Amino acid sequence: MSLPGCCAGRIPISAWVTYVEENVSEILTFYRLPRERHKHLKGTDMLERLREEIKRQTQAVRIFPHTESRLRLIPALAVETHEGWLEEHRHLNTGLLAEHERELLRRLEEAG
């Protein structure tokens, strides 16, 4: 049996089951984060903004002399955007995550 849709016939279900069993903690990371963060993590606004910026910058260049020049520009734009996100703290409030982690540690100490 294989998965429906875009993966139909490409990846057997047994491979997916094995992957999920081996990586269940990473797959469920979303649920260990504070509920207040869920709405930001579910959205794709950040990725859409990055995609639009890459599109805008590559259209400004118009013609790339070779593939390597494009491969240098796009990661540079991604790094620049990432640094902007870190400075803004608008989407990823590290203080809230640190507070959540302290609360989890406190609960573990109480339980142990």
Which residues are bridge partners to 12 per DSSP? Answer: 2
- Parent domain of 1: 1-32
Same domain? For 25 and 44 the reply is no
Same domain? For 25 and 40 the reply is no
Same domain? For 45 and 85 the reply is yes
Same domain? For 65 and 80 the reply is yes
Same domain? For 22 and 67 the reply is no
What pLDDT score was predicted for residue 4?
46
Same domain? For 67 and 90 the reply is yes
Same domain? For 51 and 86 the reply is yes
Q: What is the mean pLDDT of residues 55-68?
A: 79
pLDDT tens, position by position, 80-103: 888 877 776 555 567 777 887 888
Measured in residues, the chain has a length of 112
| CA proximity to 16, closest of 4, 3, 29 | 3
Question: Which residue, chain included where needed, has tokens 């240098």?
Answer: 72
Under 8 Å between Cβ of 112 and 105: no
